[in-house]
Structure 1
């Protein structure tokens, strides 16, 4: 699913590849570099609704906040990765399945969370 707001900019580099169920919500600017691999059920978004519980407005009516997302060349996003507003993933980094990216991942990093029983 692709959802882009008016005047939003989505850039996808050459030879980038996504499998099934990729969700992109673009409110301002999302850049996906070249040769990026994106596995199944990935979410990439640069926007979220306001989350002020003291506001008299419902969450969906609160102001939409955007922060650019950059995924540099040669990255690999595993299954069910979520890339949230303001994130930058450095060149050739690998983001493991079920990870949530918030903020900056330097170049050539393998990032995943090990869940223990």
Structure 2
């Protein structure tokens, strides 16, 4: 008794060269991120989700006991921009930190052809970045600060504050009565 038509079609898809090429692309992408993470400096007891995306890992430092959640992106600059994450920092899912951005005003034409501006990003110890927070190049977030979900951090935040919004601004000091 032969295979039913649906099963035969599924089997044919598995043996197609295009299917294997696609799997090779996926494996290459996942391996690339893994290699970049291996180049990062990671402190003792730090926990990093396997779905974290790291670029230019040799310029990324994650402190001891830090926790980097699912689907976060740590994109250091191509030549100088570093990302330094303090001890016991907590990143919720989908946090995006970049130390590089296109200088789209530098030249006319495609943005991708523009030079990049790189600046270090420092995220202090005992900080908490909520889900889908974006941190832009050159920003420092002080120790003990909390950044609310969905915020975009464009400027430095002092230690021990709660910040929220687009762009993020200080709402209050932690521990203050509301």
Fold match (TM-score > 0.5): yes
Greater share of strand? 1
- Where in structure 2 are there 5+ consecutive unaligned residues? 1-52, 167-178
TM-score by length of 1: 0.89
Instruction: Name which of 26, 30, 34 aligns with 2:87.
Output: 34
Matched, 1:106 2:158: yes
Q: 8 Å contact 2:60–2:74 — kept in the other structure?
A: no
Larger radius of gyration: 2
Tell me the C-alpha RMSD between the 2 structures.
1.7
Q: 8 Å contact 2:120–2:137 — kept in the other structure?
A: yes
Q: 1:74 is matched with which residue?
A: 126
SS at match of 1:111: strand
TM-score by length of 2: 0.59
Greater share of helix? 2
| 1:66 Cα offset (Å) | 0.2
* Higher RCO (C-alpha 8 Å, min separation 6): 1
SS at match of 1:105: coil
Instruction: Name which of 48, 71, 77 aligns with 2:101.
Output: 48
1:11-30 correspondence to structure 2 within 5 Å: 11-27=61-77, 28-30=81-83
| 1:57 Cα offset (Å) | 3.3
4+ residue segments displaced more than 4 Å: none
